[in-house]
Amino acid sequence: MASDELDLSAVNELTNEFASVRANRVARNSVTALGVVEASVDRRQARNYQDTFGVSLKAAKTVTGQRHSGRCWMFSTLNVLRSKVLANLDIDDFEFSQNYIQFYDKLERCNSRLEYVIDTAGQPWNDREVTQLMLTPVDDGGQFVFCCNIVKKWGAIPKALMPDTACNKDTAQMNALLTTLLRKDATILRKMAAKGATLEELRAKKQEMLPEFHQILCCCLGEPPVTFDLTMEVGENADVDKAKVSRQLSANGGQERLVLRDHGITPQQFVERYVKLDLSQYVELVNFPGETRPYEHAYGIRYFDPVIGGQRLRFLNMPMEDLENAAVESLKAGVPAFMMCAVNKKLMRKDEDFSGVLALDGMDLDGTFGVDLSQTKAEMIDDRECGMTHCMAFQGVELGEDGKPVAWRVENSWGDDFGFDGYLVMDADWFRLYGGDVVVERRFLPQRILDLWDTLPLEDVDYWDNMLAIG
């Protein structure tokens, strides 16, 4: 009869037999000396992936770096939006202040999370929904629409006006402090609700709590400017108020340059004049196959959106071919596309030569360990082996003779010393298995998808749903 215990003698027999197989000895020696990744890199295959693409956009000179934080969604969204600034100002480099966006993202998260606490105050502490709300109430993760909602409401500024601080280069300590205060305030609100406080009274108390979060953020990130003077060089074809542009010689008395001066503007005016963001023009497509996740359905996540009153997270589940076609059309038009994937799958992160390669055949884990690790994408979503944990931006694509993607050029936010000067080369088959989220403008989608996006009802799923292991 089979036992529910781990059999000591059987395990000892496995241990004694292990070294009798030559392949086991080679694998053991390699992995113990080098680690799992380095021992499993297939260098013959990995060397085939080069940073050369048939369709490749001219990106900004600056490669962004999120440091020790989970702000990839913010960096990748701003990397997409800055392409608009480059075009509108006719310049070749620009970087938004991620610190400014993070300040208001954290403040909005504290407000919305306390609002969700009020909404669930009648449920017990050990209710799964309440537990989930309290686990990571002020974490770093996010989405394209989350960043755009901040930009739309609070505006944006150039990085020089509010650069990163120690607290968003490594966000752990700041997040822990905000979380402690939020949990304390959540307890106060729940106790008030248990004693019969009205919704109006609970929200009034919440408003009294918010200044303390603002104070912590000012200490950690600095005070965000309410107005500022914009002075920057622009190109001849800049789409700006010509009355605000003057010609002047460069500092060394050489070539004449154009300088834009816009004094006393708000961050919202900067977005209105120089970013020209229209959030309604973006559509988010995902590929989450599975019996419980039918295609041509629009999903959202209850108690997930951090900006109350902003555009809600909404994504349309579609076959992967639709995501690929949308990204290709965007790139052909010269517009980068936001994307998400499970970036750590077969990522040769510490390999000196191939850290920037994401390919199914670039690493042979099955061969190294002598086990079969293969699963379908649907299975990996169900058992949480695969989730959309990292956000980047498509900047190029290589197309095969059939017009389908062969490989993608991806702008990352891990600095310029990673990968191919900050970029990754992603095999198309790798993205089909481990990728699953693309955001593009409406103009790059066929009418049949737009009709679904515009008319399908939003289906809210639980905060912990297995299809939503997303960054």
Cα–Cα distance for residue pair 261/40, rounded to 1 Å: 55
Taking Cα atoms as reference points, which of 316, 342, 350 lies closest to residue 451?
Answer: 316
**Residue that has been written with the tokens 């639709």 in this structure:** 322
Contact 427, 74 (CB under 8 A): no
Cα–Cα distance for residue pair 263/324, rounded to 1 Å: 43
Cα–Cα distance for residue pair 305/453, rounded to 1 Å: 19
Residue 1 has a pLDDT of 61
Query: Which tokens hold the place of 332?
Result: 């052909």
Residue 471 has a pLDDT of 45
- Residue 203: how many other CB atoms lie within 10 Å: 15
What distance lies between CA 64 and its chain's CA centroid? Answer: 13
- State the chain's maximal CA–CA distance in angstroms: 91
Number of H helices, E strands in the chain: 17, 14
Three-state SS letters, 221-268? HCCCCCCEEEEEEECCCCCCCHHHEEEEECCCCCCEEEEEEEEEECHH
Query: Which tokens hold the place of 89?
Result: 């100002």
Indicate if 390 belongs to the active site: yes
Cα–Cα distance for residue pair 444/157, rounded to 1 Å: 28
Question: Which of the residues 72, 148, 341, 391 is marked catalytic?
Answer: 72
What percent helix, strand, coil does the chain show, rounded to 5? 45, 20, 35
Q: How many Å is the Cα radius of gyration of the chain?
A: 25
What distance lies between CA 375 and its chain's CA centroid? Answer: 25
Spell out the residues 6+ positions from residue 14 whose beta carbon is closer than 8 angstroms to its own: none
Residue 469 has a pLDDT of 54
Residue 348 has a pLDDT of 85
Write the DSSP assignment of 285-312 as a string of letters: EE---STTS-SSEEEEETTT-SSTTSPP
Rounded alpha-carbon distances, angstroms, from residue 271 to 41, 48, 274: 45, 42, 5
Dihedral, CA of residue 439, residue 443, residue 449 and residue 453, to nearest 10: 70
Indicate if 72 belongs to the active site: yes
Cα–Cα distance for residue pair 388/76, rounded to 1 Å: 14
The two beta strands, 337-341 and 228-234, are unpaired
DSSP designation for 273: I
Indicate if 168 belongs to the active site: no
Residue 253 has a pLDDT of 63
Q: Return the beta strands (E) in 313-457 as ranges.
A: 315-317, 337-341, 357-358, 390-399, 405-411, 423-427, 435-441
What distance lies between CA 244 and its chain's CA centroid? Answer: 35
Query: Which tokens hold the place of 78?
Result: 């701003």
- Residue 116: how many other CB atoms lie within 10 Å: 22
Can you give the pTM of this predicted structure? 0.94
Mean pLDDT by 10-residue block, N- to C-terminus, for the chain (471 residues)? 87 96 95 92 86 87 94 97 96 97 98 98 97 95 97 98 96 97 98 98 98 98 98 96 90 81 98 97 97 96 96 97 98 97 89 88 93 96 92 96 96 93 95 97 98 97 73 45
Residue 207 has a pLDDT of 98
Question: Which of the residues 317, 390, 391, 466 is marked catalytic?
Answer: 390
Query: Which tokens hold the place of 237?
Result: 């074809």
- The SS3 of residue 272 is helix
- Residue 256: how many other CB atoms lie within 10 Å: 8
